[in-house]
């Protein structure tokens, strides 16, 4: 495995009184594309939100580029170079497409230019003056991904980017995610769609009841297909 | 000269001008309230007291420090905005996660304390502030005091500049986005707590600016904002909370409605805005320009 970029150990998290994560551990090397798989409610989204600092109550250790970030506020974590694309996409309705794209501030050099992002998502350029939420679901997803590529963040947290999209759009998003990996982005992807995840990722962590219970590399997926299907209940 | 429905034109245009001036203040104040509510989720009942503080600061600057009106127009809003920022940092920020009622109680209590203190120190009779642009112009159909014409134009410029700042600039984009989803904006690396503090400072500064503009027209007194703020809340409700252009249009519009009522049926002039509010709430509960959630 390449040099470790993100290392999560014994991560626990709470929403109010409910204890959601019970000691999550995994790591990602620089340039890797890793997925978190698991059923609904296994704690995948909460794990992303905890890494990002959005879940208020969390303990354990999250190290990014060898620095502990568990106690930091989410704006600080973002400025260290982690970018987040939420499951609900979070496209702002009071901003047009271009304002949405330009919203996240550049935190480090080396991010993509607006022209490069429009090159990746030509639809967005055509609709740059449209209200963000007037776009189709697929376009909104592309906007939500495109928006975090400008900032220079090296680690992207993508929460279910294929959810609710037509197969042809899912395929397009798969191509884009592969291209992003090719450009050197490190990606942590949360997915329900295992078939999609298997086509893009290097490794898969399986979550159950707020813990990581297994890890399978993409090369070993075929041998372990029965076990994975049991985990995911598909 | 001609008469309109038995009303002499001097009276009609005089009241329309008065309505326009009142409308200018309604617009500037409701704008600040709308911006603050959108971002802080707090109904800022201290707004009237902060308007009064703006007028008082200008008056104190003139009488104690010989600072002229035009300098006070900049300095006084800055001073009062800093006071607002202090208030936000020390008190308001502790109640954002609570129900609106707590924000209302806190800011209402603060308004009482601030107005009480000013009343205790300077009394409630009010002090005059000399007009910085004395004289007037005869427009043929009416006599137009120069300073009042200036206030109407200045208020329009201030309102449009605020609209531009919020709808067309990067800072405004942060503000609009953070109003919608502060958690996500923060997760993009923007210091949202500081943005909230600045927004409150901006809203309070706008109230103080309106106060400075009002000083030469009204008496500078501790309670000058008390009645005004009630009308302004009605304006905000009619226009729809959180709509910038809505606040501006509704502010000026209701000022004119009030002025016309004074001409045609004076007894209703104090209540007409609240009647309009009741009707709007019945027909369109989110306000004329508001979006229902």
B180–A103 C-beta distance less than 8 A: no
Q: Are A80 and A64 in contact, with CB atoms under 8 Å apart? A: yes
A105–B188 C-beta distance less than 8 A: yes
Structure tokens at A86: 């939420």
B176–A95 C-beta distance less than 8 A: yes
Distance (Å, whole) CA A55 – CA A11: 12
Which chain A residues touch B191 with a CB distance below 8 Å? 75
Long-range pairs of B3-7 with CB within 8 A, sequence gap ≥ 24: B5/B264, B7/B263, B7/B264
Q: Name the nearest CA neighbour of B46 among B208, B238, B270, B175.
A: B208
Min Cα separation A224/chain B (Å): 36
A74–B183 C-beta distance less than 8 A: yes
Distance (Å, whole) CA A190 – CA A206: 10
Distance (Å, whole) CA B76 – CA B53: 8
From A92, A95, A107, residue closest to B189, measured CB to CB? A107
Distance (Å, whole) CA A52 – CA B281: 42
A→B contacts (Cβ < 8 Å), by residue, are 52-54, 73-75, 77-79, 83-84, 86, 90, 92-95, 99, 102-105, 107, 148, 151
User: What ipTM, to 2 d.p.?
Assistant: 0.93
Which chain B residues touch A52 with a CB distance below 8 Å? 187
Q: What are phi and psi of A101, to 5 degrees?
A: -65, -35
Using CA coordinates, name the residue in chain B closest to A108.
B189
Which chain A residues touch B180 with a CB distance below 8 Å? 92-94
Min Cα separation B100/chain A (Å): 21
Structure tokens at B277: 């509010």
Helix or strand (DSSP H, E) at B205 = helix B192-214
Min Cα separation A223/chain B (Å): 39
Q: For the residues of A128-146, what is the DSSP string, one character each?
A: TTSBGGGS-HHHHHHHHHH
Q: Are B48 and B236 in contact, with CB atoms under 8 Å apart? A: no
Q: Name the nearest CA neighbour of B86 among B200, B192, B171, B206.
A: B200
Q: Give the C-alpha distances (Å, rounded to integers) separating B16 from B22, B69, B149, B261, B272.
A: 10, 26, 12, 10, 15
Min Cα separation A162/chain B (Å): 20
pLDDT score for B5: 65
Helix or strand (DSSP H, E) at A68 = strand A67-68
- Mutating which of A15, A72, A92, A144 best tests the B interface, going by the most B Cβ atoms within 10 A? A92
Q: Give the C-alpha distances (Å, rounded to integers) separating A168 from A162, A163, B43, B272.
A: 10, 13, 47, 58
pLDDT along chain B (293 residues), means of 10: 66 86 92 88 91 95 94 96 96 88 92 94 87 85 87 94 92 92 95 94 96 92 89 88 83 92 86 92 85 58
B176–A92 C-beta distance less than 8 A: yes
Q: Give the C-alpha distances (Å, rounded to integers) separating A98 from A10, A90, A94, A130.
A: 40, 14, 12, 8
Q: Give the C-alpha distances (Å, rounded to integers) separating B283 from B240, B274, B276, B277, B278.
A: 13, 14, 11, 10, 9
B174–A103 C-beta distance less than 8 A: yes
A104–B189 C-beta distance less than 8 A: yes
From A74, A94, A99, residue closest to B187, measured CB to CB? A74
* Whole-prediction pTM: 0.89
Q: Are A70 and A59 in contact, with CB atoms under 8 Å apart? A: yes
The SS3 call for residue A34 is strand
Q: Residue for token digits 């600061």? A: B57
Taking the CB of residue A179, how many other CB atoms lie within 10 A of it? 11
Q: Kindly list the structural domains of chain B, giving each domain's residue range(s) and its CATH number in brackets, ordered by start.
A: 13-283 (1.10.3470)
pLDDT score for B2: 56
pLDDT score for A1: 62
Distance (Å, whole) CA B22 – CA B12: 15
pLDDT tens, residue by residue, A159-187: 999 988 999 999 999 999 999 999 999 99
Distance (Å, whole) CA B289 – CA B284: 9
Task: Give A7's strand partners.
Answer: A27, A63
Helix or strand (DSSP H, E) at A7 = strand A4-15
pLDDT score for B4: 62
Helix or strand (DSSP H, E) at A61 = strand A57-64
Min Cα separation A219/chain B (Å): 34
Indicate the CATH number for domain A4-232.
Answer: 3.40.50.300
- Low-confidence spans in chain A with pLDDT less than 50: none
- Mutating which of B188, B193, B197, B240 best tests the A interface, going by the most A Cβ atoms within 10 A? B188
A75–B189 C-beta distance less than 8 A: yes
């Amino acid at each position: 495995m390449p040099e470790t970029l993100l290392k999560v150990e014994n991560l626990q998290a709470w929403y109010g009184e409910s204890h959601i994560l019970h000691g999550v551990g995994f790591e990602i090397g620089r340039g890797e594309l890793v997925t978190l798989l698991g059923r609904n409610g296994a704690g995948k989204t909460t794990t992303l939100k905890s890494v990002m600092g959005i879940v208020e109550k969390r303990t354990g250790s999250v190290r990014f580029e060898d620095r502990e970030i568990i106690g930091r506020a989410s704006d600080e974590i973002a400025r260290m170079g982690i970018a987040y694309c939420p499951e609900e996409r979070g496209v702002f309705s009071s901003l047009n497409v271009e304002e949405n794209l330009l919203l996240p501030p550049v935190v480090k050099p080396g991010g993509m230019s607006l022209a490069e992002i429009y090159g990746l998502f030509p639809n967005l350029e055509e609709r740059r003056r449209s209200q963000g939420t007037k776009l189709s679901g697929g376009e909104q997803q592309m906007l939500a991904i495109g928006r975090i590529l400008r900032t220079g963040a090296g680690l992207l947290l993508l929460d279910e980017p294929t959810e609710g999209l037509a197969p042809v759009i899912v395929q397009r998003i798969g191509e884009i995610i592969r291209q992003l990996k090719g450009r050197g982005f490190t990606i942590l992807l949360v997915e329900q769609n295992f078939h999609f995840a298997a086509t893009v990722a290097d490794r898969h962590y399986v979550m159950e009841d707020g813990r990581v219970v297994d890890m399978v590399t993409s090369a070993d997926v075929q041998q372990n297909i029965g076990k994975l299907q049991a985990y995911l209940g598909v | 000269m001609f008469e309109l429905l038995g009303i002499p034109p001097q009276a009609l245009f005089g009241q329309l001008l008065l309505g326009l001036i009142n409308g200018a203040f309604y617009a500037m104040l409701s704008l600040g309230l709308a911006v603050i509510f959108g971002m802080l989720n707090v109904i800022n009942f201290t707004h009237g007291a902060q308007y009064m503080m703006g007028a008082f600061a200008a008056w104190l600057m003139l009488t104690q420090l010989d600072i002229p009106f035009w300098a006070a127009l900049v300095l006084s809003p800055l001073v009062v905005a800093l006071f607002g920022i202090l208030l936000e940092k020390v008190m308001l920020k502790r109640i954002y996660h609570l129900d609106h009622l707590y924000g209302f109680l806190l800011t209402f209590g603060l308004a009482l304390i601030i107005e009480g203190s000013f009343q205790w120190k300077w009394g409630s009779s009010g002090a005059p502030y000399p007009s910085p642009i004395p004289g007037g112009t005869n427009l043929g159909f009416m006599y137009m005091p120069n300073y009042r014409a200036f206030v109407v134009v200045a208020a329009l410029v201030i309102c449009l500049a605020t609209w531009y700042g919020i709808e067309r600039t990067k800072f405004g984009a942060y503000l609009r986005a953070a109003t919608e989803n502060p958690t996500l904006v923060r997760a993009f690396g923007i210091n949202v707590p500081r943005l909230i503090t600045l927004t409150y400072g901006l809203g309070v500064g706008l109230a103080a600016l309106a106060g400075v503009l009002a000083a030469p027209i009204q008496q500078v007194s501790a309670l000058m904002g008390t009645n005004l703020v009630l009308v302004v809340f009605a304006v905000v409700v009619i226009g729809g909370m959180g709509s910038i252009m809505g606040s501006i249009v509704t502010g000026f519009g209701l000022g004119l409605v009030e002025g016309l009522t004074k001409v045609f049926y004076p007894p209703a002039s104090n209540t007409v805005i609240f009647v309009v509010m009741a009707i709007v709430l019945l027909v369109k509960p989110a306000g004329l320009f508001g979006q229902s959630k």
